[in-house]
Structure 1
Amino acid sequence: MNKLYLLTLVLLAMFSCKSPEARRPVSVKSGSFIDASVERNKKLNAKEQAHIKKIMQQKKDTDYVASESGFWYYYNTKVESDSIGTPNFGAIVNFDYNVKTLNGSVIYSKEEIQPQAYAMDREELFTGLREGLKLMKTGETVTFIFPSQKAYGYYGDEHKIGTNMPLICEVTVHSITQNQTK
Structure 2
Amino acid sequence: MKFIYRLLILLLLISSCKSPEARQPISVQSGSFIKESAERNRKLNEQERTRIETIISENPQRDYIASQNGFWYYYNTKVENDSITPNFGDLVNFNYDLKDLNGNVIYSQEELGTQNYAMDQEELFSGLREGLKLMKPRESVTFLFPSQKAFGYYGDNDRIGTNIPLQCKVTVNSITQNQ
Normalising by the residue count of structure 1, what TM-score does the alignment of the two structures yield? 0.89
> Which range moved further: 53-62 or 98-107?
53-62
Over the matched positions of the two proteins, sequence identity in percent amounts to 65
What is the aligned partner in structure 2 of residue 177 from structure 1?
176
Q: Distance in 2 between matches of 1:135 and 1:117?
A: 17
What is the aligned partner in structure 2 of residue 106 from structure 1?
105
1:36 matches 2:39: no
CA shift in 2, pair 1:3/1:176, >3 Å: farther
Q: Distance in 1 between matches of 2:50 and 2:80?
A: 32
Counterpart code for 1:121: D
Q: Distance in 2 between matches of 1:128 and 1:148?
A: 9
Q: 1:81: how far off?
A: 2.2
What is the aligned partner in structure 1 of residue 96 from structure 2?
97
SS in 1 for 2:123: coil
Q: Which runs of 5+ in 2 are unaligned?
A: none
Q: 1:91: how far off?
A: 1.2
What is the aligned partner in structure 2 of residue 62 from structure 1?
62
Counterpart code for 2:27: S
Matches within 5 A, 1:78-97: 78-82=78-82, 85-97=84-96
Q: Distance in 1 between matches of 2:76 and 2:21?
A: 66
What is the aligned partner in structure 2 of residue 127 from structure 1?
126
Q: Which runs of 5+ in 1 are unaligned?
A: none
Q: 1:6: how far off?
A: 7.0
Counterpart code for 2:162: T
Q: Distance in 2 between matches of 1:143 and 1:137?
A: 14
Q: 1:9: how far off?
A: 6.0
Q: 1:36: how far off?
A: 1.6
Q: 1:46: how far off?
A: 1.3
Superposed CA offset, 1:16-37 (max 9, x none): 4443433322210112222221
Q: Distance in 2 between matches of 1:9 and 1:111?
A: 88
Q: Distance in 1 between matches of 2:111 and 2:168?
A: 14
Q: Distance in 1 between matches of 2:121 and 2:4?
A: 74
What is the aligned partner in structure 2 of residue 73 from structure 1?
73
CA shift in 2, pair 1:2/1:43, >3 Å: same
